[in-house]
């Protein structure tokens, strides 16, 4: 199992927004109960313009959990995480890293799509600290119930949601760090970044993403499987 490292260059930031968000996630129940309750979440205003809550999916006791930022346009319409262009790229990279998607749990820091209109399109809008904070209760419950050995934070929003502080992605990517007892975290880029990177740099950026994902592979064989 790779050894944990402390994150480099982290900046302290409050884990919780100034005003505590309403607690709506049930404290008890299994993952299906919590997923069901999340469908009615109104802990922040994002529900109003989203089609539906997009909760995490995957085996209840997956050894690896992948965390993205928030559902995109396709995820919002279909109700499943990472099924749009970024999801297709993620699937390809996972396959190349030797990780079967059906063996991992995939979720997001924020469970509703935040967007703004641009002509006929719904343009992704980065979730703010208050929205990430309000949604953290769902991620917390997923972490408790799935109890993965490794959580992969894809991008800065996921890293911040998991670590509670701004953590530079580039300086920390691909390293296994301690999250809390029995759980480790590894940061990498968000697959959407690979879709935006200039053509000349795309192959290398993609290869580095696959290399980061390979770091997660030993955790699939974790002996502490429940």
**What does the binding site for ligand URA look like in residue numbers (CB under 6 A)?**
68-72, 75, 81-82, 84, 86-87, 108, 192
Task: Tell me whether residue 74 or residue 178 sits nearer to ligand URA (CB atom).
Answer: 74
Paired tokens of 139: 């991620």
Task: Tell me whether residue 91 or residue 96 sits nearer to ligand URA (CB atom).
Answer: 91
Task: Tell me whether residue 58 or residue 68 sits nearer to ligand URA (CB atom).
Answer: 68
Report in angstroms how near the CB of residue 192 gets to ligand URA at its nearest. Answer: 6
Determine phi and psi for 86, rounding to 5 degrees. Answer: -65, -35
Task: Tell me whether residue 94 or residue 223 sits nearer to ligand URA (CB atom).
Answer: 94
Report in angstroms how near the CB of residue 75 gets to ligand URA at its nearest. Answer: 4
Beta bridge partners of 151: 65, 185
Calculate the alpha carbon distances from 108 to 75, 131, 153 in Å: 11, 12, 9
Q: Kindly provide the b/e burial profile for residues 129-159, where b requires at least 16 CB atoms within 10 angstroms of the residue's own CB.
A: eebbbbbbbbbebbbebbbbbbbbbbbbbbb
* Contacts for 97-102: CB closer than 8 Å, 24+ residues apart: 97/210, 97/213, 97/214, 97/216, 97/217, 98/214, 98/217, 99/64, 99/213, 99/216, 99/217, 99/220, 101/58, 102/58, 102/59
Q: Which residue is nearest to ligand URA (CB)?
A: 68
Report in angstroms how near the CB of residue 224 gets to ligand URA at its nearest. Answer: 28
Task: Tell me whether residue 58 or residue 71 sits nearer to ligand URA (CB atom).
Answer: 71
Report in angstroms how near the CB of residue 208 gets to ligand URA at its nearest. Answer: 18
Report in angstroms how near the CB of residue 62 gets to ligand URA at its nearest. Answer: 16
Q: How far apart are CA 169 and CA 175, in angstroms?
A: 10
Calculate the alpha carbon distances from 193 to 6, 197, 199 in Å: 25, 6, 12
Task: Tell me whether residue 132 or residue 179 sits nearer to ligand URA (CB atom).
Answer: 132
Write down the residue that tokens 């205003």 correspond to. 45
Report in angstroms how near the CB of residue 126 gets to ligand URA at its nearest. Answer: 10
């Amino acid at each position: 199992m790779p050894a944990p490292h402390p994150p480099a260059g982290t900046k302290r930031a409050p884990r919780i927004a100034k005003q505590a968000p309403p607690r709506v996630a049930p404290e008890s129940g299994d993952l299906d109960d919590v997923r069901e309750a999340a469908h009615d979440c109104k802990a922040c205003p994002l529900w109003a313009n989203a089609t539906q809550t997009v909760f995490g999916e995957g085996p209840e006791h997956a050894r690896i959990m992948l965390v993205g930022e928030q559902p995109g346009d396709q995820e919002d319409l279909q109700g499943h995480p990472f099924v749009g262009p970024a999801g297709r790229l993620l699937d390809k990279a996972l396959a190349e890293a030797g990780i079967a998607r059906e063996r991992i749990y995939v979720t997001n820091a924020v469970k509703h799509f935040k967007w703004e209109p641009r002509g006929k399109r719904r343009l992704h809008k980065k979730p703010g600290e208050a929205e990430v904070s309000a949604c953290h209760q769902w991620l917390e419950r997923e972490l408790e119930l799935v109890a993965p050995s490794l959580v992969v934070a894809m991008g800065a929003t996921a890293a911040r949601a998991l670590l509670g502080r701004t953590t530079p992605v580039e300086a920390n990517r691909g390293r296994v760090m301690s999250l809390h007892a029995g759980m480790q975290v590894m940061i990498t880029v968000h697959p959407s970044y690979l879709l935006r990177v200039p053509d000349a740099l795309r192959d290398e950026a993609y290869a580095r993403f696959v290399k980061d994902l390979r770091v997660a592979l030993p955790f699939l064989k974790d002996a502490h499987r429940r």
